[in-house]
Structure 1
């Protein structure tokens, strides 16, 4: 499980006295714990690895936005800190599909559902997310689905 990998990486970083990795893994674990607390009242529990992957993706998105703002604000040292955190967080994400793999997966789902127009985009996206969440960036997938159904 991804949680176990994060905990093991934190222990290894503590032993190696790698302050940047220790700090980043602590932030990751805090974000996951917050998500666990949010889900206590949920009626259905998502797959643990899927939930952790969503949290990590959100953390990366936030840090990339911060990097952009820091660079525009002339604070390269803060942007470098955020970039270092992104590098640590990305170590725990599953390998992302390549453009060709994503296109092939979307084509397979669209064919299976018999989707022929943009009106079917919601059904296709739901099926793609269910089958490939965590392995495919859903924003990129949305653009690929739209291109597939429009063309």
Structure 2
């Protein structure tokens, strides 16, 4: 079963169980997937669906930070719930040690010598780690390694 089918089945299950919060969160995800398919006139595969989920997770995390800064914990809690629902569809996250190893491999594979090679290293890592690691953290780690 591919990821889109799994999301559809989870939506049906949430509707049967009467779980309105979960149903609404999944409905938002399905709408984002459908919007991208319509916009680009393509059928999304699992990797593209993961990219949609990553984008939604980033938006939710940004919203949480803003809501907490404005002391709107009710809205922040709603966003946190959506993050937990969306996170369930992401591939298994890599540990810090695995991310570190992938960074070292990419740097040696590209033959990176300094900051000017950052784009090439990130291009390799993006295809390898997308959906399995926070790319903002990966970018910071790569920048630190190349600066050293």
Q: Give the TM-score of the pair, scaled to structure 1.
A: 0.88
Unaligned runs of 5+ in 1: none
Stretches of 4+ moved more than 6 A in 1?
none
Alpha-carbon distance between aligned partners in 2 of 1:22 and 1:108, rounded to the nearest angstrom? 41
2:77 pairs, out of 77, 80, 102, with: 80
Shift of 1:106: 0.9
How many residues align structurally? Answer: 147
Equivalent positions of 1:25-104 (< 5 A) are 25-40=26-41, 48-104=45-101
Aligned to 2:14: 13
Alpha-carbon distance between aligned partners in 2 of 1:62 and 1:15, rounded to the nearest angstrom? 28
Alpha-carbon distance between aligned partners in 1 of 2:110 and 2:4, rounded to the nearest angstrom? 34
Unaligned runs of 5+ in 2: none
Shift of 1:68: 2.4
Alpha-carbon distance between aligned partners in 1 of 2:90 and 2:38, rounded to the nearest angstrom? 22
The root-mean-square deviation of aligned C-alpha atoms, in Å, is 1.8
